[in-house]
Chain A
Amino acid sequence: MPDHKIKRGVSFYSYQEEYFLGKLDLEGCIAEAAKIGANGIEVIPEQSFDSFPHLSAAELEAWHGYMSKYGTTPVAYDLFLDRKRYKNRLLTLEEGVESVVRDIKLASKLGCSVIRVIINTPAEVVEKAAPYALEYGVKLAVEIHSPMRYDHRWVNEHLEVIHRVDNGFLGLLPDMGTFVARLPRVITQRALREGATPALVEYIEKIYQEQPTDLHTLAPEIAWRGGNPADLTLAGEAAWYNNLDPRVLLDHMPYIFHIQAKFYEMTDDLVEYSIPYDKIVDVLVEGGYDGYLSSEYEGNRHIQDVQEVDSIEQVRRQHEMFKRLLGESDTAEKKV
């Protein structure tokens, strides 16, 4: 295993089921992360703090207290841009910048060094917020999330700004959901429970793997093949997944500030059913990535109708896989 500086973390998005149902509180999430050595914390303040955006001094103090107590580090802050805040108009450019600057200041108070800029944020908003990112020392990382690609028109607008401003505080946040090699089993199984036709589900799975650039034609085709509403829903969902070559990350490495390690199902064999993390980690090591691999479990919504979700176990499995892929052994000294 070549030397590398890749670090392990978890986004609290992963624990959304337990948090929602009151099975975990904020301290509980931090404790679970620390237990598995996922010491880099990615927080979604709009999930973790009902007081958002007006976090109290006591809440901030408690946050930093937990970090000390459990030996974890705040790393990333996920912002949302409510462009459709008003019923009859989009936010203006100024309102958008104001929203991002609010998040930059709050991220700084939480001790986060990177902000996840959600993909629907216009490039011109990011450009105007760039001086504030520099001033507060918080990087703005535009999330590249499926169905976006690294050469998409919308992403190219962001890349143009990132490269033109080039102040060290504008970059990218790849979501590993753009590297889905086959449709997640938890999604096709849910479709079947909702009444999808087994033969058509198999067909959709096959087309996804064989002709991934043709997915926009799947929905009408499935309708002509006699698909019912559940079949059509799955056909539409399939078009939202991507099967890019992970080597595309090498083209952007100096600007990759953080990675969301998206996953839908860690199997009993401790691999992700759909996403080739072995290839991804090889690419990250080759490219010299020195940020965090931040777990982002998104399987709960696909199984919660029929089973009790165990996000904690799913994240634990992903980190067992990471330890193996990163060459970490339990007896080795913890990497700093």
Chain B
Amino acid sequence: MNADVRTSLSDLVGNPQYAGRVLREIARVGAAVSPPLVLEVLHAAKNVMGVEQAVFVSYLRGEDSHESYRFLLAADPRWCFEYQAYAWYGSDPWLLYASLEPETICASSIPATTRQQREVLALAERYGMVSVCIAPAGTAGANERVGMLALGSTTRGFFESEGFTLFRVLARALSLELHGWWSKYERSELIRDLRLSEDDLRLLQLEFRGAGTKRASELLGASTASIDSRWQRLNRKLGSPQRQSTARLAAKYGLI
């Protein structure tokens, strides 16, 4: 049963069955085997949570190279097309916040200090994200992938109200599940697309941990010439000029 989206947040979370229903939807994320199936779960979760819009972004920011932005949209698709037409990833105050801070908060607490940032927020509001909850999801270790869940309501002040204390916990749980799913999916997709073998991944890991060619050749049971040749292929596949930066890139993308 879908929650009435006109009900106040306080009334929603006050229902004794609310948290259980939401958690049951969140638990379905792990069983999804493809992005469309995860999107189905996101749609179901947002309906049960009583919000009208939901966008999840899994992203890696970089310095003009190797950036990655993966959107799941249970929201007005026109927002996404306009947003991507302007390529506003660098100006998005919500993405910036999620890159730096772990706390789930109301978006109204995130300042927009530049004209472009204000335009990004105005676009979101135009497409139904009037009151918004932002739930970041980070990753431990060298993986720099970040997740951000934005849950939106057309009702002004919807999240800036009583009930947000419980709601934010559920939003964070959903964001973390989605982020975990995308991290695993992106990793397997990259391994498939770049045709990386187990030995490739072990070699990348050894380099990342500081093992040189001689040590790698001992551990992998391969000649140093073979190791050098493998590095040439890996550098080409990952678009990186030398093995140290290739290994760092592999770590950044969660491959090792």
Asked if chains A and B come from one complex, the reply is: no
B residues adjacent to A (C-beta < 8 A): none
A residues adjacent to B (C-beta < 8 A): none
